[in-house]
Structure 1
Amino acid sequence: MALTESNHVVVWGHLSDPVNGRLQEVDLLSATPISQIYAGGNHFAVLTLGGRLLCWGSNEFGQICVDSNKIKFVSNPTGCFTNIGTDTICDVSCGTNHTAVCTTAGRVLAAGANSFGQLGTGKRFPAEFVPQSISDLLGTRVSQVACGRCHTLALTEHGHVYSFGLNSSGQAGVPTAPNYVISPKRLDIPAAVSKIVASWDQSVAICDRRNEKIERPRHPRSIQYQEFKAIHEKAIETGDKMDVIGLIESVFSAIGCINASFVRRNRRSCYGHDLKMDDVMAFFNLIAESSDAAQFHDIIIESLKMTSFSDVYLSLFNTERNSFTIEQLRFFIILPWFQPMVNPTNTAFVKDVLTPFVNILEKALHFARKTLTAWWSLLETRHFNRIVQCLTSHIQRLFERNSTDHSAFIPGLSILQVLCEINKVVNRVPYDKFYLHCLNRKVDIQKDYVEWYIANSKTEFFWSNYPFLMNAEVKSAILETDSQLRMRIAITESHGQINVLRMMHGFPPQDPFLTYKIRRDHIVQDTYQYLQSTIANNPVDINRPLRIEFEGEEAEDRGGVRKEFFMLLFNELLQNTYGMFIEDEESHYVWFSGVAGDSDSYKMVGLLVGLAIYNGVQVNLPFPVALYKYLLEQPITLDDFCQLHPSEGRSLETLMEYENDDIEEVFDLDFTCSVTVFGHVETVELKQDGTNIKVNKNNRAEFVQLYIDMKMTKGLNGEIGIQMKSFGIGLKHVLNPSILRLFQPCELMEMVIGNENYDWEAFRRLTQYKGDYYANHEVILTFWKVFGELSEEQKKKFLLFLMGTDRVPLRGMSEIVMTIQPQDESRFPVAHTCFNLLDLPKITDVNEMRRRLLISLEHSEGFSLA
């Protein structure tokens, strides 16, 4: 039996080839980093770098630990000695028909033939198919074992030797014993022993006075960063880079050698990846920054091509998978740091290396998902982000080449889906790192969503199955499409049959819109009555397109009247007179009042917000992002609290950042907080007996979270919680909850109130003109000159003047189309917010235009200016 430096295990003899005894390679082990090999009389064993034992061959006496006396022979490497818990095996030896191991904790276990007590259990049995712990050696740390034909030796860390088993020729070293020794006996050897060897019926103990440890040859060949760095520096000094090239070529030509690289030598585990990930990053960065980077990259690429990952397929995907070890998975988190994995230099690399890498990783997820997700979850941000980059750049490259070859996307998308789910828990990278920003350039995402909605299939490919790829603009388009789809369904279901009957009897069809006739001076009262009637009598009507008619006004609602309606309505609802919401004087954000009252009112407000979004109307709601996190069932944090209550939040941050141990004396806090309702302050316990529990360094995090919960999601007697829940029920009555879950909190917030991504050039370019005005009209040129000289805040104020809000729609400035029409030169500029219409006086003097425009801005509240 032999192990090459390229991690190939070869065997020869009667067991490998009964007829000719020819040399054979054990292909199933090529991706597994092997540290030691062992051959018994009728079986083989290998120990992996991570301390897992794989055996194959005869199992007649249980020597390869297959727990069944019916299985006499195992042809493929199979995991054994797995009953050692979290301990790992550090040494192994094989006898003719038995196997012994010792672990890093110093325990010794043995299995197989036991006719002469060679298992050391104090008993003689024909065979043991389950590894037996040698109890007589418990408390003694054993560092090495050695097996002869039918006897066993054990060497302790202090240099003492114990033996047991057959002693017919004195091989057990116990002169007074009969032909066998069934329990471990310490041998009387005058000097400390450094190594033991057992052969057929012989035993050897080597006594070595040297203190330095004799290093074994390192197999397989691998890269350790500090050693490679020294070799690389020497190559730079001497100009001879053959050692560097040779090491790179030999390691990257074998997956097993890659898996043996960058491993922590002082920590071996069968469960963790045990990689020094910063060394992985440093190695590939050193290669990329080298003056010979192109040559080194080519060598790695050609080496990886040579493997074709065939050895990985063999070892990972054989039908039994008994030879699988998690060490075979290490290259999945090593190779993404190779520069071309993110920025390929040619299509051949994509075809021969990157695509097979992604495909095999996706297959590995089917049976090693638990391990891979655990590894990814524990990676630091820079390493997690690198894997995400590798996958997203691969998907983007495929997309740009051929966006309709759906089968090519599935492996990468499946992996990204898992990474995205992990990221939701561990919060390693911003959610937009997963976005495919070019998606809506080549895909009709609205059509894709409609087809996905109708098909309701898990087998067909739809981009809508992968919402993590979608940026806010795409999600907005899907929400709009969903709204339009549900509007049509609502119209058909509610009135299809009714309209047929009406027309048969000579009556006109029923109005397909949800039409509300509102009195301006009773806008809240009338709206509530209409909504209650709709919900009570025909709830599906809420999904029809909303049309608003103000009593006594003849304007047709083509969107502008509806927009004005929502602006006026929410402006009224947020007033203190209703007592539903309170404003923080510092942040100017509003929150639920916590005052006991009618929860249905909050349901109605939520329903109205949902109706505004559903009907494509942006509204000015000054809620912080915490509301949207609540709606998406995400936890509200200290950062969210600071956004709503800055001063109070800073106090909590000070508490959390305080480093000394005298928190009780300095802050003098207990588990209570003060809640104000209608000017009355009441002290509330945050937990049972909170008055008597002092806040200290150990419980301050709990105090802060309970404090935030009380102020933001519970309130006195749970009133804030009741109000928020009612608000959510109302909003989700209109909006499809599954569509809402596509959004991140900030994106949903931008959907409702817009954002601040201003593009003033686009704003000017998209502006339309009426009457005598056109783009190069003297008055228009004067206006744009004045507008261009305004400060950023003044320009935002102009948007507020024009539209009733200074925020930009989620899809950008392209959604804002201002129309300018002539106005008498004696007048001031006037804005009609419901139509984004500006009446501009015919003024060509720059200073006069600036004066009148600024006066209009200063005196406008955002709705209109008479």
Structure 2
Amino acid sequence: MGCCSNKPHSTQLSRFAGNNSQTEDISTFIRCPYCLQDFYDDLTTSRFSEHLLVCKRHSNFIVNEDLNCDLSKDSSYGDKIEWLRNEINKIRIPWHSEHMKFRVKRGDIIKTSMKNILGFSTIDFHKEFQVNFDGELAMDAGGLLREWFTILTKKLFSEKTELFKLANTKCVNYTFPNIIDEARINEYIFTGKLIGKAIFENVPIYCPFTPIIFKHIVDEEIQFKDLSQVDYELYNSLLYILENPVKNVIFETFTVEKEHKGVLTKYSLKEHGSEIMVDDDNKSEYANLRWKFETTDNLQAGLMYLLHGFYSVIPKNLVSIFTSQEFELLLCGLPYIELDDWRKNTIYRGDFTRKSRIIKWFWRILRHFSQKKLSDLITFVTGTPRLPVEGFSSLKTMRGDPAKFTIESIPCENDNALPRAHTCFNRLDLPKYTSRQSLKKGLLYVIRNHKFGFGIE
């Protein structure tokens, strides 16, 4: 048994895994990190790469050698990323000095994680985390932590958890903090701390926040058009009110009604708001108060605790230099897998070289995989479905050592042999298959059945 995730390579191996519903991909689109265009088709990597090649040539993503210390939101993204990671390393506590060990249960991951995490001090969050799952023998050297981040984040943003509410927009996976219950305050604080720790460790996690939440985190001005990312219908309604006469058309007062768990609550947008009807003379004031309520006041309770948790791990001044779009990319990582970058930054060991027949089969098979399948394969090997903003070249261990994606040969006992993953070191052990079909069958089997969880040799 290895020191980290040693995922199965034969169908007879034991496996301890959570519910498969926790691992479903909740993303419905791919966003280009350079031009921020959204693509809603299930594109294969080869098709999407054509768009990326054009965008890359016109981007200023490359880090400048002479780092400007006086950074602002107008500075290049690469400079800001380098500065942030240098600042984080200044407050990082080396693992050999002290680290935090804790155990969680897959079936109750939120509760058992909160029981550990909420007792940690700010200093503790600057130490290395070592997580283990109950009932599993794997020891964490980084792979388990990445898997913990991934599973926990998906669980927190699940509709069943009801911690975050789906926005009424064309993009169904935008969310924002739900109307808060006193009993759930700690969950928002915990979520904020988790997000902060993910950035601290440079582990991309998918948080499907509406862009307004990212604006609040980096202290960016909220504008009227941002309302469309919370409630598209209300945004259009307010536009209609502003551009058309409302007399005998709408019968609204300066109030807002919100329902939560069957309880209807009325909020006044101004003093004595329930007594003031909206008319053509005051409709601009109404629209202004309404959109500000929806994008700030209505989110304030849950957002306040979320930010409290986040800033306790990552000081506000470290992220305030980013734009909201840059911060989203920083937190969530690249939302696509670029096959050319992956191939360029792959290392081969054992009997494999880049010219080996099996390696050629491997890349040909991946060329026809959808982004979802590629993401699942990355999850199998690294523990997380997304990449840092710099791509495959920046893959590291949790202690900062370079750990590029590695394919190593292992014996192929029979046609049912399966690939094996070492998530702590981003390594894929690939059986020396005798046919391309057997290789494809093995890859598809592990990403469908062993994306999370660990096997025992």
Give the TM-score normalised by the residue count of structure 1. 0.40
Q: State the shift of 1:604 in Å.
A: 2.3
Q: How many residues align?
A: 383
Q: Quick check: 1:589–1:624 contact (8 Å CA) kept in 2?
A: yes
Which of residues 307, 323, 334 is equivalent to 1:755? 334
Structure 2: distance between partners of 1:722 and 1:674: 17
SS of equivalent to 1:478: helix
Q: What RMSD in Å do the two structures reach over aligned CA positions? A: 3.6
CA distance in 2, matches of 1:464, 1:842: 51
Please list, as runs of the form range in 1=range in 2, the aligned pairs for 1:145-224 lying within 5 A after superposition. Answer: none
Matched-pair contact (CA < 8 Å) for 2:142–2:423? no
Name 2:318's counterpart in structure 1.
739
Instruction: Find the residue that maps to 1:546 and give its secondary structure.
Output: strand
Q: Does 1:472 align with 2:58?
A: no
- CA displacement, residues 325-359 of structure 1 (integer Å, 9 cap, x when unaligned): xxxxxxxxxxxxxxxxxxxxxxxxxxxxxxxxxxx
Q: Which residue of 2 aligns with 1:765?
A: 344
Structure 1 residues 750 and 777: CA distance shift in structure 2, 3 A: same
CA distance in 2, matches of 1:696, 1:712: 23
1:840 and 1:570 map into 2 onto residues whose CA distance is: 29
Q: Please give the residue correspondences for 1:82-97 in structure 2 after superposition, counting only pairs within 5 Å.
A: none
Q: What does the per-residue CA deviation read over 1:204-248, in whole Å, with 9 as the maximum and x for residues that have no partner?
A: xxxxxxxxxxxxxxxxxxxxxxxxxxxxxxxxxxxxxxxxxxxxx
Q: Is the partner of 2:256 in helix, strand or coil?
A: strand
The C-alpha deviation readout for 1:240-273, integer Å capped at 9, x for no partner, is xxxxxxxxxxxxxxxxxxxxxxxxxxxxxxxxxx
- Once residues 436 and 393 of structure 2 are traced to their aligned partners in structure 1, the CA distance between those partners, rounded to angstroms, is 27
Q: Secondary structure at the match of 1:665?
A: coil
Distance, in Å, in 1 between the alignment partners of 2:153 and 2:106 is 13
Name 2:452's counterpart in structure 1: 863
The one-character-per-residue Cα deviations of 1:524-543 (angstroms, maximum 9, x if unpaired) are 334333334333xxx43332
**2:267 match:** 684
- Give the match for residue 405 of structure 2: 818
Counterpart Cα distance in 1 of 2:196 and 2:270: 35
Q: Match for 2:172: what amino acid?
A: S
SS in 1 for 2:69: helix
Aligned twin of 2:172: 587
Measured against aligned partners, the alpha-carbon deviations of 1:418-451 in whole angstroms (never above 9, x if no partner) come to: xxxxxxxxxxxxxxxxx9766x4433x4xxxxxx
Deviates more, 1:479-488 or 1:813-822: 813-822
Paired residue secondary structure (1:811): coil
Match of 1:383 in 2: none
Distance 1:735 1:477, change over 3 A: same
Contact kept, 8 Å, 2:143 with 2:422, in 1: the verdict is no
Structure 1 residue 544: Cα displacement? 2.3
CA deviation digits over 1:629-687, x for unaligned, max 9?
Answer: 1112223334433234xxx4144225415676433434444333331212444443333
AA in 2 matched with 1:609: I
Residue 596 of structure 1 corresponds to: 181
SS at match of 1:442: coil
- How far 1:560 moved relative to its partner? 1.4
Q: Which amino acid aligns with 1:673?
A: V
- Given the alignment, which residue of 120, 123, 126 partners 1:534? 120
How many Å apart are 1:864 and its aligned residue? Answer: 5.3
- The one-letter code matched in structure 1 to 2:78 is E
C-alpha separation between the residues in 1 aligned to 2:252 and 2:428? 56
Distance 2:430 2:376 in 1: 17
Alignment correspondent of 1:628: 214
2:90 is the alignment partner of 1:485: yes
Q: In structure 2, what is the Cα distance between the partners aligned to 1:518 and 1:699? A: 55
CA distance in structure 2 between the aligned counterparts of 1:470 and 1:780, rounded to whole angstroms: 41
Distance 1:787 1:756 in 2: 17
Choose from 767, 778, 800 the match for 2:357: 778
| C-alpha contact 1:832 1:863 (8 A) present in aligned 2 | no
- Structure 1: gaps spanning 5 or more residues: 1-434, 446-462, 492-509
Change (3 A) 1:673 1:839: farther
Measured after TM superposition, the shift of residue 607 of structure 1 is: 1.5
> Rg: which structure is higher?
1
Q: Which residue of 1 aligns with 2:65?
A: 442
TM-score w.r.t. the length of structure 2 is 0.71
Aligned partner of 1:474: which letter? D
Aligned mates of 1:659, 1:701 — CA distance in 2:
6
Give 1:563 deviation, angstroms: 1.0
Report if the CA contact (8 A) 1:671-1:687 is conserved.
yes
CA distance in 2, matches of 1:617, 1:469: 25
For 1:392-424, what per-residue CA distance to the aligned partner results, in whole angstroms no more than 9, with x for missing partners? xxxxxxxxxxxxxxxxxxxxxxxxxxxxxxxxx
State whether structure 2 residue 235 is matched by structure 1 residue 652: yes
Residues 679 and 855 of structure 1: CA distance in aligned 2, closer, same or farther (over 3 Å) = farther
1:316 corresponds to: none
Contact 1:515/1:546, CA 8 A, preserved across alignment: yes
CA distance in 2, matches of 1:726, 1:621: 16
Q: In the alignment, what sits opposite 1:723?
A: 302
Counterpart of 1:826, as a letter, is N
After superposition, residues 10-21 of structure 1 pair within 5 angstroms as none
| 1:703 maps to which of 261, 270, 286 | 286
Q: 672-681 or 518-527: which moved more?
A: 518-527
> How far apart in 1 are the matches of 2:450 and 2:238?
41
8 Å CA contact 1:592–1:724 kept in 2: the answer is yes
Paired letter, 2:405: M
- Counterpart for residue 227 of structure 2: 641
Deviation at 1:784, TM superposition (A): 0.8
| Conserved 8 A contact 2:419-2:431 | yes
**How far is 1:521 from its partner?**
4.5
Q: Percent of aligned pairs with the same residue?
A: 22
Which string of whole-angstrom CA distances, capped at 9 and with x for unpartnered residues, describes residues 137-184 of structure 1? Answer: xxxxxxxxxxxxxxxxxxxxxxxxxxxxxxxxxxxxxxxxxxxxxxxx
Q: Secondary structure at the match of 1:787?
A: helix
Does the CA contact (< 8 Å) of 1:583 and 1:590 recur in 2?
yes
Secondary structure of the structure 2 residue equivalent to 1:814? helix
C-alpha displacement of 1:564: 1.6
Which residue matches 2:111? 525
Q: Which has the higher contact order (CA 8 A, sep 6+)?
A: 2
CA spacing shift, 1:832–1:609, aligned 2, 3 Å: same
Q: Displacement, 1:624?
A: 2.2
Q: For residue 184 of structure 1, what is the aligned residue in structure 2?
A: none
